[in-house]
Structure 1
């Protein structure tokens, strides 16, 4: 869990846009990001996405249509979304949201690269991706 540093800007507004599937976050440094739900879901900081060490990440697929059903505050430092696919264990700290928002171009590229490496499409059902990541090569 990334801790908060005094340099981390605080969110001044957080808006869930169900229609466009983005989380809009305005920060105290004047920056505002529109973070797609799919990106949040794919890069969820929870153990079942990140795994328990480097290289243990579970590749998430089929999340393009995912919605954020609820967004619960966690203390004064994070939010915990519940996604429409039932995933709810990711706690998104302010600095993590800032990271997702500010690096999303690069994060999408990394995601695309991982999909290619695994030989699965972005919209593949999760079980296909799980099978692919177990090293079954056709």
Structure 2
């Protein structure tokens, strides 16, 4: 089980700095945390991948609310505030960042979406 010893919201650079109990540190972008939020809204019941959400490049985290000694609830500027980022979830997101991010960008491209736009472009629809 992972533990987190410190969390810092870096609003200017839009990253959550996480210090783990084993001494590792991670800077997790707000956009990444938003599109991989562990909420039922994104993951539903039994999904292998989260629902695809675009247009979150500039998303902010307004605040981080501690939940006991095992998680944090992030309140995003777009109103999303469900899903608890447990220490294990943050650990997994840090460890799988490169693969998760590559897959996310590929899925956006396949859907004709972008990090700046949350809908499929007309061009992409015409070429399907």
Task: Return the TM-score normalized by structure 2.
Answer: 0.89
For the aligned residues, what is the CA RMSD? Answer: 1.9
Structure 2 residue 21 is the aligned partner of structure 1 residue 21: no
* CA deviation profile, 1:78-120 (whole Å, cap 9, x unmatched): 1000000000002101011011112211111010111122121
Matched ranges for 1:1-138 at <5 A: 8-54=1-47, 57-124=50-117, 126=118, 128-129=119-120, 137-138=125-126
Deviation, structure 1 residue 50: 1.4
Q: 1:30 to 1:56 in 2, by over 3 A?
A: closer
8 Å CA contact retained: 2:31, 2:59: yes
Task: Return the TM-score normalized by structure 1.
Answer: 0.83
Quote the Cα distance in structure 2 between the aligned partners of 1:40 and 1:95.
14
Deviation, structure 1 residue 72: 0.6
Deviation, structure 1 residue 59: 0.8
Quote the Cα distance in structure 2 between the aligned partners of 1:56 and 1:28.
28
Q: Any gaps of 5 or more consecutive residues in structure 2?
A: none
8 Å CA contact retained: 1:33, 1:102: no
Deviation, structure 1 residue 56: 7.2
Quote the Cα distance in structure 2 between the aligned partners of 1:29 and 1:101.
13
